[in-house]
Amino acid sequence: MLTEERQRIILEVFKEKEIVKINELVKVTNTSESTIRRDLTQLENEGILKRVHGGAKLLKGRSIEPSYNEKQDKYIDEKERIAKYAASLIEEGDCIYLDAGTTVFNMIKYIDKKDVIVVTNGLKHIDILLEKNMNAYIIGGKAKARTKAIIGVDALKNLERFRFDKCFMGMNGIDLKYGFTTPDSEESILKEAAISLSKKAYVLADESKFGEVAFVKVAQLDKAIILTNAEVENYRLYEEKTKIKVVTK
């Protein structure tokens, strides 16, 4: 098979999946692993793909943000593991902030402490918090339909009244050089504020978020502990920047 034809097939596979493993591409092209690695390297050099541990993913515009529903349907098992562990970090008497992210949303069903105060900007979060009879506050401001989040100046002013023992954050990008990033400047300001208002900050992120750089910087890596599902590429370098907990089960 010619290189051009093989790479066309590879790109067709990426139209269906955000991240594709090398062994999947070996099967679909009926070629060797070393050949696929060369193809991926070439496509990465052309700015089409980004190599990740065991495979690659398509590059997207830095301002492009998946919708809440799109994010909710990806890395389901990995998000559940991360969320369950994150919930176990909550202690009786804690005042916590829950960001509007989908992995953070998954935390709520695992929270088993009763004497906890929860503040959130997540529109999806508040119903389940009330169903669990939790002491919950939702900050006021502009409602963003795409991510089901409350954002804007009013939200920031409301948030700044609080102080937290812990905050749990979603993030679009985690990069060794550029730190934590997100596509929306208004969400970025809110995330940065929540981190600064907390004694401890946790970023809940599946492996796909590493090496990604979105449009707006939120904070340096050392401002939060990362909870993830796998030892990603350059894991040791990330460990030099901040604490990372890999949740395997």
189-247 pLDDT per residue, tens? 999 999 999 999 999 999 989 988 888 999 999 999 999 999 988 899 999 999 999 99
Among residues 83, 202, 99, the alpha carbon closest in space to that of 159 is found at: 99
How open is the CA angle 84-62-42, to the nearest 5 degrees? 100
Q: Which residue has the tokens 């496509």?
A: 43
Rounded to an integer, what distance in angstroms lies between the CA atom of residue 246 and that of residue 210?
A: 13
**pTM reported for the whole predicted model:** 0.77
Among residues 184, 201, 196, the alpha carbon closest in space to that of 149 is found at: 184
- State yes or no: pLDDT of 74 exceeds 80: no
Rounded to an integer, what distance in angstroms lies between the CA atom of residue 215 and that of residue 203?
A: 18
Q: What domains are there in the chain, each with its CATH number?
A: 3-58 (1.10.10.10), 68-246 (3.40.50.1360)
How open is the CA angle 207-168-175, to the nearest 5 degrees? 40
